[in-house]
Structure 1
Amino acid sequence: MEGLKLANAPMPLPLISAASRPRRLFSPVTFARNLHLLRVEPMTQDMVENRENEYPISGDDIRTCFLNFYASRGHKILPSASLVPDDPTVLLTIAGMLQFKPIFLGKEPRSVPCATTSQRCIRTNDIENVGRTTRHHTFFEMLGNFSFGDYFKKEAILWSWELTTKEYKLPPERLWISIFDKDDEAFSIWHDDVGVPKERIKRMGEDDNFWTSGVTGPCGPCSEIYYDFHPDRGHANADLGDDSRFIEFYNLVFMQYNKKEDGSLELLKQKNIDTGMGLERMARILQQVPNNYETDLIFPIIQKAASLAKVSYAKADDSTKTNLKVIGDHMRAIVYLIKDGVLPSNIGRGYVARRLIRRVVRIGRLLGIKGNGEGIQECAFVPELAKTVIELSDQIDPDVKGRTNHILEELKREELRFVQTLERGEKLLDQFLSNALLSSRANGGKPCLDGKDVFLLYDTYGFPVEITTEAAEERGVSLDMNGFDIEMENQRRQSQAAHSAVKLMVGNEVELAQCVPDTEFLGYDMLSAYATVKGLLLNGEPVTEGYEGSNMEIMLDRTPFYAESGGQIGDNGFLYYEGNQDGKSTVTVEIKDVQKSLGNIFVHKGIITEGKIEVGSEVCAAVDPILRQRAKARFFRVTLSQTALRTVIGQETSQAGSLVAFDRLRFDFNFHRPLSEEELLKIEELINQWISDSTLLQTKVMPLSDAKKAGAIAMFGEKYGELVRVVEVPGVSMELCGGTHVSNTSEIRGFKIISEQGIASGIRRIEAVAGEAFIEYVTARDNNMRRLCSLLKAKADDVTGRVEAILEELRAARNEISALRNTVAILKASSLLNRAFVVGTSNIRVVVESMDETDADALKNAAEFLVNSLKDPAVVVLGSCPGDGKVSLVAACTPSVVKMGIQAGKFIGGIAKLCGGGGGGKPNFAQAGGRKPENLQDALEKARTELIALIEK
């Protein structure tokens, strides 16, 4: 962008005067198209279709301008945090301030006095509004400037106004301000210092303009800047909540209070600034388009989707435009989620990714978008859309392009998997419609598809209601939309409740943050140390003392105990104090786990087995050395596992989680297929070779940037500061890791993979043993082999052949038994031929009988024998109780019976329900089962009655 530059020298943080104000960050040439006369009316069709080079300013330039503006005023530009936050209370990164939460809480020292970021965010609480309004998104960028006790309200307001009116050149007369109704200081700054007229400053209540982080904790009033698209409507009765006229694009939070448990407010020692400007909203304003979706940040994705759907966005109806907007929005969220390691699954963050992908797929199919081929393996279109998102990613996240292949492959697999689900849904829809028709014939009413069934198809199988409606109308079936709306509202209510339950902090955490210092970790160099008790929790509530038998959470000022992080579990051990002449009693606490809270407070969880523990008392903290050594061996094995995996199956593989327990380890990684036996053996060989090399580990602390330049790999689940601990096995691996490690690879002793399996879409898991557990595992396996050799009376080398021979003999015996059972079943069935009865004018022969304990396979053969023997037209329904509380049912129909509308697959399912089961199959043949053998006779009687009714209808 022409003229977009960083000022030569940082602006001093005190108040800005006209004389000292730095020069603008881009020249007026950028806005030569009369930007101050922003048009409100929609673009013409030709302008919409050919807008690629028509934007007055790009989204990238808007972002750069914001960051450079604040950089010139002493702010450090920091990178966007991952969409996966280092905060267990938040599922995904929802705001720019999230990465600074420990600083705002006072739990981490500020590394800079003030910062500016462009933070990638995801919110799904308003997902149903995406595409329907002008401004709702799941993925968006939040531009922010933050002060950590450096400047405050006046500077924040003056700079926001200067950025908005001088750099972005928004007409001042189109800007409205909201403030907290009791914030007279903010009103004075906006009115007296900035010059905003009183009639354009709106005082609003606590719900709108007072920001809180939770029930207690840092909080403060906020002030928002709105853009007015229709100043012609005047000032009287103007409502800032009117989306057709106003859009709020910049929020300034003045974090000046601490909210106490009784609801009272006290001034913070350090006042902070937390702001957020919606990049998409500012782009909408500056690019003169009617909604956020038609900006250059999203519209190229919409254009690609329209091209695949073979439609014109400008000429499309409102429904089609909405669907294209949803695709444009969701595709951004999908790509950046996968890039940050979130893979589609049925839980947590993975469910968010899966839900968004499936929404894109089903909307795309509704629009008629298809892939490049006819076969299911070539029908994926989502990767094609992702390519456009990736092309736009340079300024948003430059690391995205390096993950292109991984992103596209993951999207293709998930889309094809969902297409198969949709096909299953089509079969279920057909079944629901048939049931509705059968029910209406029986009851004499009009056929209607239950609202719960419509919602099941929508929510589980991805069927848009429009598709269900169209299919139902073709069969003469209506939809219970009231029932569907109830189910949808229930889900929305649950989703909003879950979203509301997520808080940035809770009361007890805030109290701990204020009274308990960070824990000094001593465990790299020692396994025992004296420490002072700084805090106690009993059942989650702060207490001053704990007694024998109580399960406590204990905070110390210093500790040798490792707290669980990065996959390594917390240490076990004891806290104790030996009573002596000073009159103090003996205290013993058995520690079973150690966790981190609020960044760097170590919480020791254990039971008091003797005496009483008090806040302020001194104890000796002692780690169990044997368990620590076992954990060290296994944890370091995880680091070698990552290196070995990358060597054997490719550098695209990345860690997706790990667990290092005292008796085993597991390593989760991203990969799309099972590993072969050859690959697993190769991984084992590599790791055991590194162990046998007896290499000394090198540990050093260095700046994070230097570590990354040196090639150090980050460990999954770890958070890193500016200084990081780097553990290196020369010639093998270099990791950023805060875990405990052996000093020499030989201490691991050995490594053995005991299983490899898939645990979620695109995620595999290796479970292994190492160190002492490796010796125990090998010894146990050897003992088992000795016993097996004894039982088989064979040498170890001959065991495999002997077992294969026994299995072959067993298979032959089973086949012989099965053949005998079939013969017996057919003999029994032949005796049922004379029990067939004739129904209806078509003289249909019907057999409905029980065959005692015949198993399912033999029952199937008996039914086939009977229906073939009876000849067309005929119907056979057989049932049996083969044992173990099971029921087997089978139905068979000849072709002319099927033409009458009697289908075995649909008929047998309803019969099986009486036996506590279900089933189905083809129109001419179907099987079912159940768990209530006592109801078999009733089920067969129902089958007999319903068949007669259907035939005679």
Structure 2
Amino acid sequence: MRSTEIRSVFLDFFTARGHRPLPSSSLVSPDPELLLTNAGMNQFKPYYLGRSVPDFRRATTLQKCVRTGDLDNVGRTARHVTFFEMLGNFSFGDYFKEETVAWAWELVTEGFGLPRDRLWITVYEDDDEAERLWRRLGVPGERVQRLGKSDNYWSMGMAGPCGPSSEIHYDRGPAYGPDGGPAASGERYLELWNLVFMQDVRDEDFRIVGELPAKSIDTGLGVDRLALVLQDAPDIFHTDLLLPVLETVRDLAGGGDDTSLKIVADHARAAAFLIADGVLPSGDGRGYVLRRLLRRAIRHARLLGVEDAMLPAVTGAVVDLHGTTWPELETARPLIEKVVTAEEDGFARTLRQGSRILDTAIRERRLSPKVAFDLHDTYGFPFDLTVDAARAAGLTVDEDAFGALLEERRRRSRSGRTEPGRGPRAETGTEFVGYDATRAEARLRTILRDGAEVPSAVEGEEVEVVLDRSPFYAEAGGQVGDRGRIRTASGAVLAVTDTRPGHVHVARVESGEVVPGEVEAIVDAERRAAVARSHTATHVLHAMLRRVLGEHATQRGSLVDAGRLRFDFTHFEPLAPERLREVQTRVNEQLLDDPEVRVWHADRARAEAAGAMALFGETYGEQVRVVDIGDFSRELCGGTHVGHGSQAGPVHVLGESSIGSGVRRIEALTGVDALRHQDGERALLTELADLLRARPEEAPGRLRQRLAELAEARRVLERHRREELTAETVRLAGLAKRVGQGWLVVQRVSGVDADELRPLAAEVLERRGGVVVLGTEIGGRAVMVAAVSPDLGAPARTVLASAATAIGGGAGGKGTVANAGGRRAGRLDEALRLAASSARDLLGGG
């Protein structure tokens, strides 16, 4: 059974049992306490805790997940990967253990056709009820094992909902490990499906501190692992979910160490999915997880002897393979290629420098914590790669000693250093001089790399720098940090890509060698002006929403960027299109009145008494900066603005959406970006009108007419198609032959798609009874369906078992109708003969 069918069989099974199918949440976890989504239940945590009440009691999902806790096992075992797909069914205070266990057993044994004598069950050590339920279904007592909290008590790894679990394992046979069940070997007895009986709440110390408001269910079935079993693969990397990617790596490398090949394939897949969900490489958080995966993949590519860029081609293979199931991959294809190319290019130099030192230290058996620290501190060589290389050579690195050296470096950096006549220099305290200027003379005080102070930086290195005074606006209050250039007295140039809170300038050395000293700081003035337009427009939008919707519509977050803005506000229902247009029109009217933008300072009490709004989530000192826009808006604000309202427009609202209970989001374009967007929309309308041979104002009516005509034509075609299929049903029923206890129809058909084949077989069976087997070729694949009369007492998939093998696939389905598919389309006729033979045996016709 291919992965596409695995997904559909599972989701169809639970949808038929009243579960609402819901989309996967992003890998950027919906739970703010998690960096990345690691389970299907993450998006449902508020429902389990009773903080939110859904309008459904049952759900089923196919969820993207990333876990890096077992990173060292990737490529070394059959079952460990970093990215995987998790199928799940969920109950929120509805059904509990009995239904969960029964449905899971039915699906794995009948839906997926796994032999019962190869399945083992584990339950939590004191869960008598779960064991009793499994044994009631016919699982022998010797194949139900009780395990402790580390194996069969599930939580998110943090405070929150949790509960005992029961797992279904598949025995892969003695070639994969010793006897003894799951307690003896995780490689032989492969965990497929974890059923969690959510009932408890834990704190950070794993103490159970209470019960959930209602007993609930959370299950997770790994698509990769089930594919391994159903496709009889030696490991996950040889299933249809990863094999084409692995083969791409092998082709690019010309062979090589199997573990390195698998690590590159796995990490490239995880990286592609992370980037598609908006994660970009960085030095902390989820961005660091991505960077670590990419750098490990690059390191192993070099171990395979590949010196040229490999990741663009490998991630491209990931998109080719998974882009249909996960369309966001195809959408993000250009971004994925750009990110991995840049990361591979930048890391290549680090690898060349660090690898020479590392290889020498390994060869001379002197890989001390000090060497590992120098590699990290001076060359930017990741510590985890040093550990990987050491392990491969049979060496170890004292991680505690390395950590102590790193902490000492950070402590020295935090405490500053002494300069003649100046005394201790603080890490922060930069004077911002950018309200009235976009360039300034300054002194570069500190250069940081990976959080540690370094004496210099050379071309190509990415660093952070601190100045004594700066015209660069540091990210705050929703406004993005400035970009620009820093030029040193010696002629070196830093490209500033961001300015972070604390006035830390994130930069890349474009040329020369950078050392502390006198510099000229130059802000990208055009971008700054575009950001200022967006910030002024945001204030006017905020004030207008309060006037149109009510005083409750207050800011709950914002992003102010060059040419665009995002504004989150409290409101309790969607804005109708006409109301959204009203807000846009009134904002632009207000800006066209050209109100003066005035900035003044006061103590906070006086400012608030004068009606200045303090914004949600912001912190203020006793002295505050107030921004007035005419007599329309007055807010506490530290951001940059235009001088008059007319400089901020026009504003074009792109849309409005919900981002949480009672919180809405508006996204809009400003200034030239708004004009470009409107020009583009006008061009599209003109093109549409030309295609419809109508004037632009007539296009909507003409399009509605054409759509109505198309719908009528489709209805006619569907009626004709039904007539054709009825005729085909009659024709096929007329070909039936009497065999034993009933009639037999085995035919190859053409001109029928996959969705039509199954009902066609069922209708022929209604007319003739017995067994009907139909086969066709679709897109270079063989597809078969078998339908069997209920009175024959056998599942239909038995008719297709040998036929499915012949076409390179497996038979699926339960009851009286089954299907099979495979890539060996040329063997379809042989498969039909095999199916006919099985059908004759079933009918007793010999």
TM-score norm. by structure 1 comes to: 0.45
Q: Tell me the TM-score normalised to structure 2 length.
A: 0.50
